[in-house]
A and B are shown apart, each in its own frame.
Chain A
Amino acid sequence: MSQVSVSERAAAAGEVPVTRAPYFVRKKKGITPRSIAVLVFLTICALFFCVPLYVVVVTSFKTMDQIREGAIFTLPHIWTLEAWDHAWNHACSGIKCDGLKVGFWNSVSILFPSLILSISLAMVTGFALALWNVRWAGGFLFLLFICAFVPFQIIMYPLIVMTTTTKIYGTLWAVAVIHAVLAMPVLTLIFRNYYKDIPTEIMSAAMMDSGSFWRIFFEIIVPMSGNILIVVLILQITSIWNDYLIGVTFGGLTGQPMTVNLANLITISTGTTNYAHNMAAALLTAIPPLVVYFLVGKLFVQGVTAGAIKG
């Protein structure tokens, strides 16, 4: 039992625990039957996880005639980009039929202001709370912790009223600002937890040097924030891009992000549904976050775990 506590202590101190003591190195032997069974099981699970992606991809390249044959898992007879073109340029959302490109550019124009707003606000707040002597910091942190869990519905109506009175309701700005507001508690906590581990020697030296809040922030803190910034960026890009509820609530008719267009397309379809169009639209919506995911890989896990408490 004593060894366990040693390793726990090491883990608590942030050291990397020794993963394999030398005398436990597995003997180099051939693959065991159990390994094969495990790998087969994992592969089957992996296939199950890939089925929806596969189905969506092949459907988006099919013609509607082939889809009507009812063989959902077959490859397209003729690969066609017609559905992609239609989804991008002509798909209907509500009464307008200008395609998903409208929503795509809306999503892009929501994403960037919202990223800048939410991250800069959370960085400054986290820095102030972590390293400066603010008397009520403890109470404020606890309040932020509670706010991070509050369901959106309980603040929905007041936020609608506030955005309406400030005349931004129904615009991209409303969606971007509300994203920044709702992300503030979680992001602040993330930054605060990161900054509080900055060695006091660095802060003392900085205080001797200039002592100015903003100079320390821009000259020391921002350059030190690289790692956490990437994690937070991943978290924010995926959650803003994938959001539906805030977009549909505050976007009105002109500020709808891509997910809202997609939801309109798949839920309200008059006449016969063209599944190729729907699947191409779904893929178009999914591609940006998937690209981020496959680019950053392991960091993505950190991003989503950090923001797990956010809805």
Chain B
Amino acid sequence: MRWSRIAPQLALTPALAITAVAFVGSIGWTIYLSFTRSRRLPEYGIDWSEWGRQYDRLFRDAGWEISLRNLIVLGLGSALAIVFGFILAAMIDKEKRGESFFRTVFLYPLAVSLIVTGAAWRWILNPTLGAQSFLRSLGWEVDFNWLAQGDTAMYAIILASVWQSAGFYMALMLAGLKGINTEIWSAAKLDGVPLWRVYLEIIIPMMKFTFITCAILLSLGVIKAYDVVVAMTNGGPGQSTWVPAYFTINALSAKSNLGYASAAAVMMLVITLVVFIPLVALTVWQQRKREAAR
């Protein structure tokens, strides 16, 4: 039973105003600006003969291409956090001993700012005074000088993000594993199925929702990745660790090119929607399934 009055509608006005102005209106504003020739200051005239000029330029920009490539590299690399998180969760769940201790340790990186994470890893990866020189002094010829070279700097960012987020995926996986009926284990044991096959053929398929959720959350996180790039490399060396989020803010603040930054932001929104639509479909599907089970 629900009640209708004026008060609830009034109470909703601030939230409605924020949604209309700060979200819907602002998105429309940025999309509009992306069709204009605005540079430092906004210009509201659109030259219809070449309304897509910012996008044309964007797709021909080597920096944007690097950003997109890095986005995919970062996405694939960060996916290790899901794999790693699942392995940790499976082990913790099967072993039970020390569960709360291990969980506390694996999750603490999530509590700290990515700027702090970046500062720490930047120091560890320092070529002259960091882990590399220490391991070399022990006689191990390792090469950890990732941050200084363009083709390896992304690995350093991936390392820091995996370290930061693996615990989060572990927590999600652990919740998923707890929901699995324990009789499966004993049934598998009776049948003499080896443990790794139980995981591969029964547990992982049963946890597909958890995996899809993790994958979507990961993609959304990767699209928004900005802090970790600033703290680790600040986009460098050169443009080698640019990502779309970095590219967009750089175009707005360093290059003062409003129209161009808007076009890049719109492309970020498009990428987000590509990830977002399957999520909506998934939620609807899950809800239907739950209702059907009732």
CB within 8 Å of B: which residues of A?
3-5, 7-9, 11-12, 17, 19-21, 24, 35, 38-39, 41-42, 45-46, 49-53, 55-56, 59, 67-68, 70-73, 121, 124-125, 127-129, 131-134, 140, 143-147, 149-159, 162, 181-182, 184-185, 188, 200, 203-204, 207, 211-214, 238, 241-245, 249, 259, 262-263, 266-267, 275, 278-279, 281-283, 285-286, 289-290, 292-294, 297-298, 300-301, 304-305, 308-309, 311
Contact = CB atoms under 8 A, between A and B. Distances in A.
A38 B21 contact: no
Nearest to B29: A158
- Which of A134, A286, A293 is the most central at the interface, judged by chain B CB atoms within 10 Å of its CB? A286
B66 to A, nearest CB: 17
B115 A262 contact: yes
A143 B19 CA distance: 8
A306 B270 CA distance: 24
Interface stretch (B5-13, B49-57, B71-79, B149-157): B5-13
Contacts of A278: 119, 123
Contacts of A125: 11-12, 14-15
Given A53-B108, A309-B220, A159 B294 contact: no
A135 B97 CA distance: 52
A211 to B, nearest CB: 8
Contacts of B181: 3-4, 7, 17
- Which of A4, A45, A290 is the most central at the interface, judged by chain B CB atoms within 10 Å of its CB? A45
Interface of B: 1-5, 7-9, 11-12, 14-16, 18-19, 21-27, 29-31, 33, 88, 91-92, 94-95, 97-98, 100-124, 126, 128-131, 133-134, 137, 163, 167-168, 171-172, 175, 178-179, 181-186, 217, 220-221, 223-224, 226-227, 230-231, 234, 245, 248-249, 252, 258, 261-262, 264-266, 268-269, 272, 276, 280, 290, 293-294
11 contacts: A24-B185, A50-B105, A56-B119, A125-B14, A155-B22, A184-B19, A278-B119, A279-B123, A285-B113, A289-B111, A300-B110
Contact of A133 (B3, B18, B123, B290): B3
A5 B293 contact: yes
A241 to B, nearest CB: 7
A275 B95 contact: no
A131 B11 CA distance: 13
Contacts of A305: 168, 171-172, 175
A19 B178 contact: yes
Majority SS at the chain B contact face = helix
B248 A49 contact: no
Contact of B113 (A4, A5, A207, A289): A289
B293 A9 contact: yes
B4 A55 contact: no
Nearest to A26: B96
A285 B116 contact: yes
A308 B217 CA distance: 7
Contacts of A283: 116
Contacts of A311: 220-221, 224
A125 B21 CA distance: 17
A49 B163 contact: yes
Given A19-B178, A131-B2, A149 B220 contact: yes
A213 B227 CA distance: 42
Given A4-B184, A7-B179, A19-B178, 13 more contacts: A12-B290, A42-B92, A72-B126, A144-B15, A150-B23, A153-B265, A157-B30, A242-B116, A266-B115, A290-B108, A292-B111, A305-B168, A305-B171
Nearest to B246: A153
Contact of B265 (A67, A121, A151, A266): A151
A157 B131 contact: no
B220 A245 contact: no
A214 to B, nearest CB: 7
A101 B107 CA distance: 27
B19 A213 contact: no
A162 B84 CA distance: 43
Nearest to B118: A266
A154 B115 contact: no
Given A159-B26, A212-B7, A244 B112 contact: no
A128 B26 contact: no
Nearest to B236: A267
B26 A155 contact: yes
B278 to A, nearest CB: 12
Contacts of B249: 153, 156, 245, 249
B168 A184 contact: no
A15 B217 CA distance: 27
- Which of A17, A68, A128 is the most central at the interface, judged by chain B CB atoms within 10 Å of its CB? A128
A188 B2 CA distance: 19
Contacts of B183: 3, 21, 24
A132 B4 contact: yes
A72 B276 contact: no
A20 B180 CA distance: 11
B94 A38 contact: yes
B134 A73 contact: yes
Given A39-B95, A133-B2, A301-B171, A49 B22 contact: no
A55 B120 contact: yes
Contacts of B266: 154
B217 A11 contact: no
B8 A134 contact: yes
Contacts of B186: 24
A55 B131 CA distance: 10
Given A128-B12, A158-B29, A259 B115 contact: yes
